[in-house]
C-alpha cells in the first residue's frame, strides 16, 4: 500500500504493537529469538501482532479447563491486559489499566 502512495512528505503510520526491532520487553525478545530460527520470513509489525495474538490466546486457554468452552476463553481474554505482567511490560501499562498506547512510525 505504501509503495502506491506518491507524496513528498513523510507519512505517519499508526500501529497497535511496538516496533519488533526496537522494543525491549520479554515478549519482544522471545519473538526475535523464535523468528531467528526462520531466516527467510519477513519480520514486520503484522507478524509480531500475529505472534502476540497466539501468545495471548495460549495464555488465556491455559487458564481454562481442558475441555473449555467459548465463554471461558472470552472471560480469560478480557482479563489478560489487566493481569498479565508480560503484556503490561510490552505496552508500558500500570497494573489494572487497559488503555493501550498507539505506536507511530514514519515512511517517505
pLDDT at 62: 93
Tell me the pLDDT tens digit for each residue of 58-108: 999 999 998 878 899 999 988 888 889 999 899 887 765 556 655 566 565
Q: What does the alpha-carbon distance between residue 35 and residue 9 come to, in Å, rounded to a whole number?
A: 33
Q: Which of 105, 103, 63 is nearest to 83 (CA)?
A: 63
pLDDT at 14: 55
pLDDT at 64: 93
Domain ranges across the chain = 2-107
Tell me the pLDDT tens digit for each residue of 6-54: 666 666 665 678 889 999 999 999 999 999 999 999 988 889 999 999 9
Amino acid at each position: 500500500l505504501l509503495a502506491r502512495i506518491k507524496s513528498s512528505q513523510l507519512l505517519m503510520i499508526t500501529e497497535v504493537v511496538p516496533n519488533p526491532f526496537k522494543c525491549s520487553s520479554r515478549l519482544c525478545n522471545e519473538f526475535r529469538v523464535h523468528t531467528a530460527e526462520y531466516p527467510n520470513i519477513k519480520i514486520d509489525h503484522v507478524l509480531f501482532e500475529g505472534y502476540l495474538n497466539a501468545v495471548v490466546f495460549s495464555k488465556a486457554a491455559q487458564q481454562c479447563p481442558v475441555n473449555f468452552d467459548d465463554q471461558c476463553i472470552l472471560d480469560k481474554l478480557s482479563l489478560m491486559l489487566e493481569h498479565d505482567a508480560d503484556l503490561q511490560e510490552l505496552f508500558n501499562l500500570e497494573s489494572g489499566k487497559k488503555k493501550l498506547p498507539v505506536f507511530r512510525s514514519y515512511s517517505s
